[in-house]
């Protein structure tokens, strides 16, 4: 199986900086923002974006993790990973602008599951979606608000995001036959 690198460390850093500026511009500042990453790499990306938002705005942005494992509609077809803890910031999400953060947007099913999981936690004022890579092939009417890179790919290819905190380096690769 061959793999080609489509984003390197500097590309990922630029994309996250751009996403951070777009989030602040869209929200007209940091007030009321909460970032929730979808495990595993979405949590790391949310933490990086929160750090950048803090550097840009001078304010700390509440960040947490939203595990969607048990909300997925394909559990019967796909082996699932062990559920991760959902961690909601102390102020909760009610009335907040929640930005869901994921590494790769593909079918949209993880995001649909995240929306279901959010319902069990509270009622945000607005829910936005930030993703490092949008590879297309949507099965549900879900569209990201903030995208690092649109990356057209074939259905049988696999897009892998590697992050230094989890994998030891930063890169996005496409693997195909």
| Domain spans in the chain, listed from the N-terminal domain onward | 2-73+86-176
List, for residues 130-156, the tens digit of each pLDDT value: 999 999 999 999 999 999 999 989 999
How confident is residue 78, by pLDDT bands cut at 50, 70 and 90?
Answer: low
Residues whose CB is less than 8 angstroms from the CB of residue 69 and which lie 6 or more positions away in sequence, other chains included: 80, 81, 82, 83, 84, 113
2-73+86-176 architecture in CATH?
Answer: 3-Layer(aba) Sandwich (3.40)
How confident is residue 83, by pLDDT bands cut at 50, 70 and 90?
Answer: confident
78: number of Cβ within 10 Å: 9
Residue 160, pLDDT above cutoff 80: yes
Choose among 145, 141, 113, 115: nearest CA to 128. Answer: 145
List, for residues 20-76, the tens digit of each pLDDT value: 999 999 999 999 999 999 998 999 999 999 999 999 999 999 999 999 988 877 666
* Across 3-21, average pLDDT: 97
* Predicted structure pTM score: 0.94
DSSP string, 110-157: HHHHHHHHHHHH---SEEEEEEEEE----SSS---SEEEEE----TT-
List, for residues 162-174, the tens digit of each pLDDT value: 999 999 999 999 9
What's the confidence (pLDDT) of residue 76?
A: 61
**Contact at 8 Å (CB) between 32 and 151?**
no
Distances (CA, A) of 36 to 78, 82, 125, 149, 155: 24, 19, 14, 20, 27
């Amino acid at each position: 199986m061959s793999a080609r690198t489509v984003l390197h460390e500097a590309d990922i850093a630029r994309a996250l900086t751009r996403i951070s500026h777009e989030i602040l511009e869209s929200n007209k500042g940091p007030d009321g923002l909460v970032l929730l990453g979808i495990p595993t790499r979405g949590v790391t990306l949310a933490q990086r974006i929160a750090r950048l938002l803090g550097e840009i705005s001078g304010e700390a942005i509440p960040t947490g993790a939203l595990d969607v494992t048990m909300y997925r509609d394909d559990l019967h077809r796909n082996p699932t990973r062990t559920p991760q803890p959902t961690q909601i910031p102390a102020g909760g999400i009610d009335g907040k602008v929640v930005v869901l953060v994921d590494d790769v947007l593909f079918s949209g099913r993880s995001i649909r599951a995240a929306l279901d999981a959010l319902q069990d936690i509270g009622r945000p004022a607005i829910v936005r979606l930030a993703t490092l890579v949008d590879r297309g092939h949507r099965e549900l009417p879900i569209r990201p608000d903030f995208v690092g890179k649109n990356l057209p790919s074939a259905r049988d290819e696999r897009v892998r995001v590697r992050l230094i905190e989890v994998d030891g380096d930063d890169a996005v690769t496409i693997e195909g036959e």
